[in-house]
Structure 1
Amino acid sequence: MDAYRGMWSVYVDAAKTSEYESPKLARYAAGQAHSSLVSGLYANHERGVVVRGTPRLSPRVISLTPVDQPTLAEVKDCADDSRWRTYDGSGRLVGSKPAGKRQVDGTLRLFNGAWKVTELLVEKEGTC
């Protein structure tokens, strides 16, 4: 859970300035998850927007493989982004994207003793 929560913490911090080149993301994310986070930050940078606030997370581990010495973990979350919103340079709320609770599925893998989120799927609002 430390890696999953760490990934979100670093992402939320980077989103405050749309810092798509943040080296901190690689500490907690790799593969598709890392690419998705960087792409989202880059898109916000290009649009000149930032994200303020903090999502509320409720993650739980649903499986560990293999059970005796796990190297793979599956996480399900019901993340609430109603207090984590996108703003333009003048501080105005941007977009009409519904905010609220959405399911997040994550896959974490063990790399040289460090857990990293490697796959991340964020569903639409209202999915949990």
Structure 2
Amino acid sequence: MNRRVHLNAHSAVRFRKLLAVSASLSALALSACSSVHRDDKALEHPLAPASSSKVATASMDPDAAEKTAVLKTYSSFWAEQVKAYARADIQGTDLKKYATEKALGQAMGDVLVMKNGGTVTTGAPKHRARITQLTLAGNTPEAVVQDCLDISAWKTVNRRSGKVQPFPSDQPLRYLTTAKTEKWGSRWMVTEVTPDGDHTC
């Protein structure tokens, strides 16, 4: 079973409650099939300008544009989520532009726990995300993003005192996180995010 992870000090509560509400989240199952394309090019956040060699490689990949769009949506989803946690409120963010009901519900559950606990976050996590599955056939194209999430600089603080709350002693600071995405019309959307504390990176 996956160890429940804490994205930051109070994310302990956050992901425990959140993942429980979202039903039990399973271990990563990233299997390939004939309709799936694998991409071994990892993209770090913030994204650095692509080198000429990477651009040349991308130009030879017929799915390069879709992969770029998926990663852009994933990055934007996290940027808006960080904003929401920094104020313990999703109002004033664009989370709904990048997340469907389940992923949005996860974020809203986190925000509610933080609001009730009188905490917010400062800083932001770092990412090393890559696409591990991409299926463009069918009515709803799908993609899976695997991310090495680094939360060491993403702190939970008491809203009133501003005091940083330490990470639990068993909290991994870098671990794999998997996001499922779907293309709805012309836009990619994050449908589900699953942290895996048993797999550090």
TM, length-normalised to structure 1:
0.89
- Number of matched pairs: 128
Kindly provide the amino acid, as one letter, of the partner of residue 113 in structure 1. Answer: S
1:96 is aligned to 167
Aligned mate of 1:44, from 103, 114, 133:
114
1:58 is aligned to 128
Cα separation, 2, equivalents of 1:50 and 1:99: 20
Contact (CA 8 Å) 2:131, 2:145: kept in 1 or not?
A: yes
Alignment of 1:1-128 (within 5 A): 1-22=71-92, 24-66=94-136, 71-89=141-159, 90-97=161-168, 98=171, 100-124=173-197, 127-128=200-201
Cα separation, 1, equivalents of 2:138 and 2:103: 26
Identify, as 1 or 2, the structure richer in helix.
Answer: 2
Cα separation, 1, equivalents of 2:99 and 2:122: 21
Cα separation, 1, equivalents of 2:146 and 2:137: 18
Contact (CA 8 Å) 2:149, 2:176: kept in 1 or not?
A: yes
Contact (CA 8 Å) 2:124, 2:153: kept in 1 or not?
A: yes
Give the aligned CA root-mean-square deviation in angstroms.
2.1
1:87-121 deviations in whole A, cap 9, x for unaligned? 00211112533351011100100112111100110
2:35 is aligned to none
Report the alpha carbon displacement of residue 54 of structure 1 after superposing the two structures with TM.
Answer: 1.0
* Identical aligned residues as a percent: 24
Report the alpha carbon displacement of residue 122 of structure 1 after superposing the two structures with TM.
Answer: 1.4
TM, length-normalised to structure 2:
0.58
The structure that has the greater radius of gyration is 2
Cα separation, 1, equivalents of 2:92 and 2:142: 25
Identify, as 1 or 2, the structure richer in strand.
Answer: 1
Q: Which moved more, 1:60-69 or 1:14-23?
A: 60-69
Q: What SS does structure 2 have at the residue aligned with 1:59? A: strand
Cα separation, 2, equivalents of 1:59 and 1:45: 29
Contact (CA 8 Å) 1:75, 1:106: kept in 2 or not?
A: yes
Unmatched runs of 5 consecutive residues or more in structure 2: 1-70
Unmatched runs of 5 consecutive residues or more in structure 1: none
Contact (CA 8 Å) 2:119, 2:156: kept in 1 or not?
A: yes
Report the alpha carbon displacement of residue 80 of structure 1 after superposing the two structures with TM.
Answer: 0.1
Runs of 4 or more above 3 Å deviation? 20-23, 67-70
